[in-house]
Chains A and B, each alone.
Chain A
Amino acid sequence: MLSSRCWQGGDEMPEKALLRNAGVPHVERIDVYLARGGYQAVRKALLEYKPQEIIEMIKRSGLRGRGGAGFPTGLKWDFMPKDPNITKYLCINFDEGETGTFKDRYLVEEDPHQVLEGAIIAAYAVGARKAFMYTRGEFPLGMKRWIKAVAEAYGRGFLGKNILGTDFSLDVYVHRGAGAYICGEETALMESLEGKRGEPRLKPPFPTQVGLFGQPTLINNVETLACVPHIVLRGPEWFASIGTEESKGPKLFCVSGHVEKPGLYELPMGTTLREIIYEHAGGVWEGRKLKAVIPGGASTPMLTPEHLDVPMAFETLPKVGSMLGTGAVIVMDESTCIVNAVLHLARFFAHESCGKCAPCRVGTHTMLKILERVEAGEGRDGDIDLLLDICETMYGKTFCPLGDAATNPVTSSIKYFRDEYEYHIEHKRCMV
């Protein structure tokens, strides 16, 4: 039931951008969306700006990719070849599957036209005539709403031939994934779109040179594209005025786990973990104490209460050994067994490892086996060092970032909670 969802911006951001339509009944319908000023950004972009001017605008805004890697969006757009005779494509990455993350699902299910507007402007800027929406297989509602939104946009002349009377034309195609987290990795997504196993490709060449069907392809995350109409309408300076030195704009933070009010919160980049957890998400539930927090989804190293004042931004979290990732804050209270929590993440990565390269295929499953026995009270002396050894063998040596990601929960939890692992092995039970 979506009505139970908690979505709100912080008080200091009176004008929400990405969530401005949150809670508006039937805003997924184009009439409602248009009545709220929808498609003004597409109108402005196509009628008032040249494609290269849009790229410069996105560059000036400081927007960085919201899918986890944080690559500068304008720069990525600028990498696309400018020759109009080359066939170019746009891919929309809606394969959201990172544990703790649910922002893209919200955006497409509740406000699909906002994302579509961003996609149209992106395609216009890079000269793509075809856009491919890759939907996670588990999101039938999002897919249904997206297909309807696309049909409505065709009906009103925002898609199809000669959009708004310009010489720009765009068609949108929808593909449904079939259950594989790895397809969120951009080259695996393209393999999957091409009807193959979703195994990542070797990079370089990068997708902006050789992408879908061998053509230059721009691929962006749903939230990244949702930012675009707001940048066009309010100007890049507005966007760049929000956030920190290297992380600009509003960000959707997904807060889950042991908090009073789990939900989706639109806050400026650089908001501290403390503010997100205690001021917006109502604090740790049942008056308990905070034990650990994962700041950016399953792939990011966990942190402890001493890190609560770190701003949530691309450049600040690495300073304390973690990453912003997708901005999915998973809160764990004092009653949490850290070994058990890490076991769940290890199961996730072992299940989702595509099997293409040995370090990840073997490493994730071996770590899972060890964690299972430690958690079950059958751990052996040396298991902790064995885990660290496997992490070292995997890190930086796998084909794609999934292998690195799989090591993060393990190494970070041993760093902060080694005593809990030791207790498990020594006393054959949990200490909490």
Chain B
Amino acid sequence: MAIPAVDRKLQLVKRSRMLDMLYAAQKRYGYLSEEALRHVAEELGLPLKEVCSTASFYSLYHMKPPGQYVIQVCEGLVCSLRGGAEHLVDHLRQKLGIDVGETTPDGKFTLQTVQCLAACDTSPAMRINDDLYENLTLEEVDAIIEMLAGGR
């Protein structure tokens, strides 16, 4: 016999797994494809539109296939003051031959800009996948990109 109060509570707790499940789906499918989103919706017993609405709210979910390395350059005020931001972004644009939001044709790099990474004392800063790089110079950026481009 269904007990509405208990059901409601269970549904609440179940839904709180949403963000983690979206991360897991993103890892498994490479990005949040329709298939991935449907999978999450089924697991949580929610309509697809609810899952899409939630996923699209957050900037760390990829709604299209990202490159192997997602470069996120901080374009916050402090990184800009310390000579980073625009400078770094322009440099990476030229080096990779892509614009912000694009992925290199070989699928290796995606270039993004992000807001503050809480590394203002060690700015300019960027993230590549889950790694934070601080106190960056253009030479260091070159070295990092070349290392990643060469490796697999």
A contact set with B: CB distance below 8 Å: 1, 4-6, 96-102, 104-105, 136-141, 175-181, 192-198, 213-214, 254-258, 262-264, 298, 328, 330, 332, 336, 340-341, 344-345, 347-348, 351-352, 354
Chain A residues lying within 8 Å of B80, measured Cβ to Cβ, are 340-341, 344
Are the C-beta atoms of B54 and A196 separated by less than 8 Å?
yes
Stretch at the interface among B12-20, B96-104, B144-152: B12-20
Asked if B122 and A140 make an inter-chain contact with CB atoms under 8 angstroms apart, the answer reads: no
Residues from chain B with Cβ under 8 Å of A345 in the complex = 77
A97-B116, A336-B81, A344-B85 known, 16 other contacts, Cβ within 8 Å:
A4-B134, A98-B116, A136-B118, A138-B118, A138-B127, A175-B19, A177-B58, A178-B58, A179-B58, A196-B15, A197-B54, A256-B81, A262-B122, A340-B80, A348-B116, A351-B115
Pick 12 A–B contacts, CB within 8 A, sort by A: A99-B77, A99-B115, A99-B116, A105-B118, A137-B58, A141-B132, A176-B19, A179-B114, A192-B19, A198-B58, A298-B116, A354-B57
| Of B59, B76, B85, most A-chain CB atoms within 10 Å | B76
Q: Are B118 and A178 in contact (CB under 8 A)?
A: no
Which residues from 35 to 70 on chain B have a C-beta closer than 8 Å to any C-beta of chain A? 44, 53-54, 57-61
Residues 84-139 of B contacting A (Cβ, < 8 Å): 85, 114-123, 127, 130, 132, 134-135
- B64 vs chain A, min Cβ distance (A): 16
B82 is an interface residue with CB less than 8 A from chain A: yes
Q: A99-B76, A194-B15 are in contact. Are A256 and B121 (CB under 8 A)?
A: yes
A132, closest chain B residue (CB): B16
- In-complex Cβ contact of A140 among B9, B44, B82, B130 (8 A): B130
Q: Which residue of B lies closest to A342 (CB)?
A: B77
Residues A100 and B77 in contact, CB atoms below 8 Å apart: yes
Residue of B nearest to A194 (CB): B16
Interface residues of B (CB under 8 A from A): 9, 12-13, 15-20, 22-23, 44, 53-54, 57-61, 75-78, 80-82, 85, 114-123, 127, 130, 132, 134-135
Give the complex CA separation of A254 and B19 in angstroms. 30
- List residues of chain B with CB within 8 A of the CB of A254: 120-121
Q: Which A residue sits closest to B21, measured CB to CB?
A: A195
Find chain B residues with CB under 8 A from A258 CB. Answer: 81-82
Q: Please, which residues of chain B bring their CB within 8 A of the CB of A347?
A: 75, 115
User: A178 touching B15 by the CB < 8 A rule?
Assistant: no
Contacts of B15 in A (CB 8 A): 194-196
Known: A175-B19, A181-B115. A195 touches B54 (CB 8 A): yes
Bound form: Cα–Cα A21–B13 in Å = 37
Contact of A139 with B118 at beta-carbon distance under 8 Å, contacts A196-B15, A344-B75 already known: yes
In the complex with contacts A178-B59, A180-B58, A330-B77 CB distance below 8 A: yes
CA distance A328 to B123 in the complex (A): 14
**Nearest chain B CB to A67's CB is how many angstroms away?**
14
The number of A-B residue pairs with CB atoms under 8 Å apart is: 144
In the complex with contacts A1-B135, A195-B15, A179-B118 CB distance below 8 A? no
| B118 & A213 in contact (Cβ 8 Å cutoff) | no
Residues of A within 8 A of B61 (CB): 178-179
B121 A198 Cβ-Cβ under 8 A? no
Bound state CA distance, A239 and B117, in angstroms?
31
B120 & A264 in contact (Cβ 8 Å cutoff): no
Residue of A nearest to B130 (CB): A140
| Complex Cα spacing A138 to B128, Å | 11
Chain B residue numbers with a CB within 8 Å of A196 are: 15, 18, 54
A104 to B120, CA, bound (A): 13
> Is the Cβ of A344 less than 8 Å from the Cβ of B22?
no
CB of B8 to closest CB in A, whole Å: 9
Chain B contacts of A6 at CB under 8 A? 121
Cα distance A39–B61 when bound, in Å? 38
Quote the shortest CB–CB distance from A187 to chain B (angstroms).
15
Flag if A138 contacts B60 (CB, 8 Å): yes
Complex Cα spacing A348 to B80, Å:
12
State whether A180 and B57 are in contact (beta carbons under 8 Å apart), knowing that A262-B122, A341-B81 are contacts in the complex. yes
Known: A1-B135, A100-B78, A344-B75. A177 touches B121 (CB 8 A): no
Question: What's the least CB distance linking B76 to chain A, in Å?
Answer: 5
Contact of B81 among A98, A193, A332 (CB under 8 A): A332
Shortest distance from the beta carbon of B26 to any chain A beta carbon, whole Å: 10
Docked Cα-Cα span, A137 to B61, in Å, equals 10
Determine if A180 and B59 form an interchain contact, defined as CB atoms under 8 angstroms apart. Answer: yes
Given A4-B134, A254-B121, A256-B78, A175 and B20 contact (CB-CB distance below 8 Å) = yes
Known contacts A4-B135, A181-B115, A351-B115; A197 and B53 CB within 8 A of each other = yes
Across the interface, A213 reaches (CB within 8 A) one of B13, B19, B130, namely B13
Chain A contacts of B135 at CB under 8 A?
A: 1, 4
Contact partner, B23, options A1, A176, A255, A256, Cβ 8 Å:
A176
- In the bound assembly, the distance between CA atoms of A140 and B15 in angstroms comes to 23
B77, A178: Cβ atoms closer than 8 Å: no
CB-CB under 8 A from B132, the residues of chain A are 141
Given contacts A197-B57, A330-B78, contact A178 B23 (CB under 8 A): yes
Residues of A within 8 A of B78 (CB): 99-100, 256-257, 330
Q: How far is the CB of B1 from chain A (nearest CB, A)?
A: 23
Partner of A101, one of B118, B123, B130: B118
